[in-house]
């Protein structure tokens, strides 16, 4: 099972910070899941955070009961 707990992520623009995700909670059991939404809705950002390409500003990512928030892409891939 994959669980996102209170995930927030923002990017810094020239003059301000732009919130992309704010307190996202998501639980995915085994099986196929599709995340849909409009352009700019944060779908790709969620995928990048799950993969470890981006680090959330706050919150935790739990995979099969283990906190993987600070694990590298390779460590996550080796876990399955």
pLDDT at 13 (0 to 100) = 83
The predicted pLDDT at position 16 comes to 86
What are the tokens at 63? Answer: 């995979």
What token pair was written down for 7?
Answer: 């995930």
- pLDDT tens-digit readout, 17-62: 888 899 999 999 988 889 999 998 999 999 999 999 999 999 999 9
Q: Is residue 4 very low, low, confident or very high in pLDDT (cuts 50, 70, 90)?
A: very high
- The confidence score (pLDDT) of residue 36 equals 94
pLDDT higher than 90, residue 15 = no
What are the backbone dihedrals phi and psi of residue 49, each rounded to the nearest 5 degrees, phi first?
-70, -40
């Amino acid at each position: 099972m994959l669980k996102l707990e209170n995930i927030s992520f923002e990017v810094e623009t020239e003059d301000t910070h732009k919130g992309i995700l704010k307190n996202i909670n998501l639980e995915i059991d085994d099986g196929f899941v599709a995340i849909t939404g409009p352009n700019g809705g944060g779908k790709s950002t969620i995928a990048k955070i799950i993969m470890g390409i981006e680090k959330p500003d706050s919150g935790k990512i739990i995979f099969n009961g283990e906190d993987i928030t600070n694990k590298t892409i390779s460590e996550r891939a080796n876990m399955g």
